[in-house]
Amino acid sequence: MSSDGPPVVRVVVAAIVLVMLLSGPGSSIEFAKDRASLGDGTASVTVVEPTEDHVRVTDGRFGTNVSYVRIPDLIVDVEQVDGRPRVFYQVTVPELDIRKQNDEIVRSTGRLRVAISDRALQPGTDVTGAEARLVVRVQSYTGGTVVMNRTVELRRE
């Protein structure tokens, strides 16, 4: 950063350095916010998806050569929110020793998606008769509510 550069360069450098210094430990200005974390409260939610009566098992693509349990995304409509609860989504398939879960902090009303990545199966795994249990809860430090608890079959497609 040369001091013989155009004014804009010096202005930019000065602005950046000034703001950096304002973020220092001695400053009362807090720039970097803590990420949203679970708190107290509750929310009223309605499950939009998944609605299917099964969870798909399909072959992997692009040479992966394994089968995947295609875990559907959870989509909920949040009608009312109080505090900082979370929507917790869990999928278990006891026969295949699968247990996957994810959650999202509820910040506002509206549509919320909670996704769980697909699960690859060991080659040769037989999914006949296996069932998946889909559980959705609204949770916070002050309690929890089960919104959905369904058991559906795994269907190879």
Only segment of 47-55, 77-85, 117-125, 135-143 that touches other proteins (CB under 8 A): 117-125
Report the 10 Å Cβ neighbour count for 83. Answer: 14
Tokens of 23: 């973020």
Q: Does 103 bind other proteins (CB under 8 A)?
A: yes
Cα 148 from Cα 135, distance rounded (Å): 5
Q: How far is the CB of 113 from other proteins (least distance, A)?
A: 8
Cα 56 from Cα 61, distance rounded (Å): 14
Helix (H) or strand (E) holding 144: strand 143-156
Q: How far is the CB of 45 from other proteins (least distance, A)?
A: 18
- Give me the half-sphere count of Cα atoms (radius 13 Å) on the Cβ side of residue 149: 4
Residue 97 carries which DSSP code?
A: T
Q: Does 13 bind other proteins (CB under 8 A)?
A: yes
Q: Does 119 bind other proteins (CB under 8 A)?
A: yes
Restricting to residues 44-63, name those near other proteins by CB under 8 A: 60-63
Cα 133 from Cα 154, distance rounded (Å): 10
Q: Does 121 bind other proteins (CB under 8 A)?
A: yes
Q: Which is nearer to other proteins, 58 or 142 (CB)?
A: 58
Cα 125 from Cα 119, distance rounded (Å): 12
How big is the site for other proteins, counted in residues (CB under 8 A)?
48
Only segment of 44-52, 98-106, 129-137, 142-150 that touches other proteins (CB under 8 A): 98-106
Where do contacts with other proteins occur on this chain (CB under 8 A)?
1-6, 8-9, 12-13, 15-17, 19-21, 23-25, 31-35, 60-66, 68, 73, 99-104, 115-123
